[in-house]
Each structure stands twice: as structure tokens, then as C-alpha cells.
Amino acid sequence: MPESRLHKSFLNAKVNVLFYVITLFVSFFSRKIFLEQLGADFIGLTGTLQNLLGFLNLANLGIGASMGYILYKPLFEKDREKLREIISVLGYLYRYVGLSILVSGGILALFFPLIFKNTEIEPGIIYFAYFSFLASSLIGYFVNYRQVLLGADQRNYVVTAYSQTANLVKTLLQMALVCYTGSYYLWIAIELIFGILYSFILNRKIDQVYPWLKCSVAVGKEKYAEHKIIIQKSRQLFVHVLAGTGRSQLLPFLIYAFTSLKLVAYYGNYMLLITKLNLLVNNFLGSTGAGVGHLIAEGDQKRIQQVFWELNSLRFVIAGFFTFALYHLIDPFITIWLGADYVLPHSVLIIILANFFVSQYRGTVDQFINGYGLYHDTWAPIVTLTITVVVALAGGSIWGLPGVLLGDIASSLTIVCVWKVYFLYKQGFRMPVSLYWKNIVKYTALLLLSWSGTDGILFLLPLFNPTNGYGSWILYAFYSSTLFLLIFIPLFYIFSDGMKFLSKRIWKAVQKQ
């Protein structure tokens, strides 16, 4: 990965993490103010309307996500004419997606008297909010579709900076005006106005970055037949994303079916913390995806393998560290935050963390699968969903909550950890998969050795009790995490070639700054 790609990856990561922290801080206070000034019913209404629009946006599944693979090669070759054609075809396809969402959204609005028959909020507010959200969503299909090139070109920091800045300014303005007026209509109007304003500013920036990117829906219609691979890949990816969405949406219902609302709430507390941590890590590491695509487009197999193991080693270290930290810190945090009654059984925690580790570590394999455009194993997501449901139903009837969660880990260990790796090595790398498992066994041994060594020290030198309050919890978190890293990082550096290569390249990049 040339230094320019490494630099772009760092820039994307820094911008993503910066705005993640700021947004997390602002959203904490804004939600409290909106609940106090506008009421829980209105906030619940806006959330429900956005969820309904989320279902309508399923029409987009696959098209936008598959565009990275289509764009990597012409970006590498600097083929501007081809890029114009592809983005024009995207505009042509998105025109029909937008029209289908508009029609579906209009039909859905006819059923609002039935959907919201028990709400006390007046119909005018419901319809105004809904069509404002719908209009903001449609702008992305009719106007903002060119932003996909920024992501494929490792310039997603531009989209993040503009979108998150607009979102922060919008939220602060809403907070101020709501405190002053308490108007529902004004709050909704600001949502729509900032959606339009963001679109205008973003497209001006795209014109500055790519002044040659003059796209036309008419050209897209004309060139569509030459780029049917977009539809082919989109259909394949649609199955993957749809099955993944179904898997994540079904799990809470299965938990409720075999447990109680109380346990659903307790489980939700854990997942709230883990989801935020997942988002933070993904914001940091997800920025390397486009760089992987460009690397694959170059076709240097030796370099591809080196970068694969650099990213793999980094993912393993991060996944291992956070899994260790969560194992030792999440139960004490729940105890301090909510009380000891809200702590889940230890067996549940282990299964949750096993899923967390797999979800984090799989990221590198997913990035290379996306880079190669390997979406044609459409049976895999269906089998994944089937395994999840069958094991969850069987396990839930026997063990309750731990049994339900076993469905997720069963599908992850079989399809995600075994099949996806084999698929990548066979169809992408065209190398024996045994090379992968030799390193993974070594990495796992290093993690277990570091974990057991740290636990031994913590047992012999228990300096802090993490349940004695937030101060003690913070000290214990720093103490235990530092001990683990002091053992894990040196061991990993000594025995992992990928970590050595990555460390050297990062050091060179820092020296050039």
C-alpha cells in the first residue's frame, strides 16, 4: 500500500473518530433536551418514521455497496471517461430507485391513520415529518449519488466532514430553537432545510475535487448495457445484506420469545455499550477498505498478501484487547451504572464477547472479499441466517438466553470464520487456506498466553476493586489494560511478521510527517 493510500487511510480514520466522539457527546445532551421539550411521544414518532423509511430504502441494498468494487480499477488506471460512465449509470439506476421509494412512500402514507391511530400527535405533524424525512432521503438518490466516488477514492473524510458538521450544526440549532419555541414544525423544518443545504455544499465540493465529473442520466441510460456487472454484483450483494439485516433484526425477537422483557432490557444494556465500541473500531479501521480495493486493482500478489497480514494482525490485536477489556470491565461498569441486579450470567457474557471478537476480527477478510467483488456465494448468507434461527430456537428452548445467543456464534464460526476464509483464499488469493490457519493458531496462542498471564498478575496483585465506584473502575481499567498490552504487544511483535511490517511502515509514515 503506497504511502499516499496509507496517509488517506489515517486521514479517514482520524476524521471518523473525531466526529464519532463529538457526535456521541452532543447526542447525549440533545436527546435529553428533545425529550424534555418535545416529549417522548414526538421523539418516538420521529424514530418510528425513520425506521419505516429504512425499510423503504431496502430498494438500494447492493447498488451503492457494490460500486466500490466497480470503481477501483478505473480509479487505479485514472480512466476518467470510464468513471464518468459508471457514475452516470449509477445516476440512471438511482433515478429508478428514488422513484420506486417515492411511490412506495406515498402508498405507505395512506396507511398512517391505521398505523398511528393511538397517537395524540396531530396528523399534520405526522405527515409533515414523514414527507420531510422522505424528501431528505430522496435527495441522496437524485442529487448526491456522485459522492460514491469520494468513498472509492479514499476521500470519504470529505463526506464525513461535511455531513457530520451539517448534522452537528443542525442539532445545536434545533436544541436552541426548541428551548426557545418548543415548536414541532420548526424542528422538522430544520431537518429538511439542512438536508437540502448539505446536498448543495457537498456537490460544490465534488465539483472542486473532480471538475471533470460531469454526469448525465441520459448517458447512464445509453451506457447501461455496457455496465450490467453493476446490476449483477448488486443482486448478489443484495442477498448478503438482506440476510444480514434479517439476522440482526430477528435476534431481539428470539430473545424475547424465550426469556422475558426484563432480560431483553438487561441484554440491551450490554449491547448498547458493545455497539458503541463496535462503531468506534469500525470508524477507525473501516477507512482502509478503499485502500484494499486499490491494492487489489494493482494486482501485485506479494504486496496484497503483505497488506492482508498487516491488517489481519492489527485487527487481531484490537479485537483481542477489547475482548479482554470488556470481559474484565463490563460487569463492574453495569454494577456501578445500574446496579448488581442488572448483571447477566457469566455464560451470557462469554457468548456475547465471542460474537464481538468474531465481528471485529472478520473485518479484514470482509474488506478483501469486497475488494475482489466476491459476492456470488449467495447461498452463504441464507445458510448463515438459517443456522442462526435453528440453533437459537433449539438452544433457547433448552438454555434460554445463552441458547438463543448460541445461534449467532454458531453461524459465525461455521460460515463467517470457515467458509468466508476458504472462499477468499480459493477465489481471490488462489492460495491454500492452510497458510491462513497456521497464523491464526499462532495468534490465538499468543492471545491466550497474554490473557492468562495478565489474569495471574491481577490475582496476585489486586490493587483496585472495580465495583467501588467510577474512580476505582477507571484505575482498574487502566491497570488491567496496561498489564495486558505490556505482555500482548511485545509477544505479537516478536511472532507476527504482519505486525512487524505494519509497525515499520507506520514509523516511516510518522517520520515523513
Note whether 395 and 404 are within 8 A (CB).
yes
Of the candidates 93, 188, 182, 184, the residue with the CA atom closest to the CA atom of residue 134: 188
Q: Which of 47-61, 202-216, 420-434, 494-508 has the highest mean pLDDT?
A: 420-434
H or E stretch including 289?
A: helix 289-298
Which residue, 179, 164, 181, is CA-closest to 30? Answer: 179
CB 404 within 8 A of CB 258: yes
The Cα angle at residue 144 between residues 224 and 42, in degrees rounded to 5: 130
Instruction: Please choose, from the candidates 69, 146, 162, 82, the residue with its C-alpha nearest in 3D space to the C-alpha of residue 428.
Output: 69
pLDDT surpassing 60 at residue 1: no
Distance CA 345, CA 266 (A): 11
Q: Which pLDDT belongs to residue 358?
A: 92
pLDDT at 261: 65
Whether the CA torsion 487, 491, 452, 408 is positive or negative: it is positive
pLDDT recorded at residue 510: 63
What was the pLDDT predicted at 218?
84
Here the cell at position 182 is 418548543
In this model, does residue 297 exceed pLDDT 80?
Answer: yes
**Mean pLDDT, rounded, of the chain:** 85
Mean pLDDT of 309-336: 94
pLDDT band at 316 (very low <50, low <70, confident <90, very high): very high
Lowest-confidence segment of 32-46, 113-127, 349-363, 443-457 by average pLDDT? 32-46
Contacts of 55 (CB under 8 A, 6+ apart): none
Instruction: Provide the pLDDT for residue 4.
Output: 58
* Residue whose cell numbers read 491497570: 479
User: pLDDT per residue over 162-174, tens digit each?
Assistant: 888 888 898 899 8
DSSP of 172-224, one letter per residue? HHHHHHHHHH--HHHHHHHHHHHHHHHHHHHHHHHHHH-TT----HHHHHHHG
Q: 14-23, 52-61, 291-300, 481-490 — which is least confidently predicted?
A: 52-61
Whole-model pTM? Answer: 0.81
Q: Is the pLDDT of residue 321 over 90?
A: yes
The answer on pLDDT for 3 being more than 70 is no
What is the spatial distance between Cα 406 and Cα 395, in angstroms, rounded to a whole number?
7
Ranges 90-104, 184-198, 273-287, 327-341: which has the least confidence: 273-287
- pLDDT: is 359 or 157 the higher one? 359
pLDDT digits (tens, 9 = 90+) for 382-418: 999 999 999 999 999 998 889 999 998 999 889 989 9
State the Cα angle at 336 between 334 and 338, rounded to 5°. 60
pLDDT tens-digit map of 119-150:
788 889 889 999 999 998 888 888 878 888 88
Given this model, what pLDDT does residue 67 score? 74
Query: Please, which pLDDT band fits residue 60 given cuts at 50, 70 and 90?
Result: low
Residue type, 80: R
Cα distances (angstroms) measured from residue 89 to each of 11, 145, 225: 29, 10, 9
Is the pLDDT at 356 greater than 90, yes or no? yes
pLDDT digits (tens, 9 = 90+) for 337-346: 888 888 999 9
Mean pLDDT in residue range 300-324: 93
Could you report the per-residue pLDDT of 258-275, keeping only the tens digit for each?
877 678 778 878 887 888
pLDDT (0 to 100) of residue 423: 95
pLDDT of residue 272: 76
Question: What was the pLDDT predicted at 150?
Answer: 82
| Set of cell numbers at residue 418 | 470457515
Percent of the chain with pLDDT over 90: 34
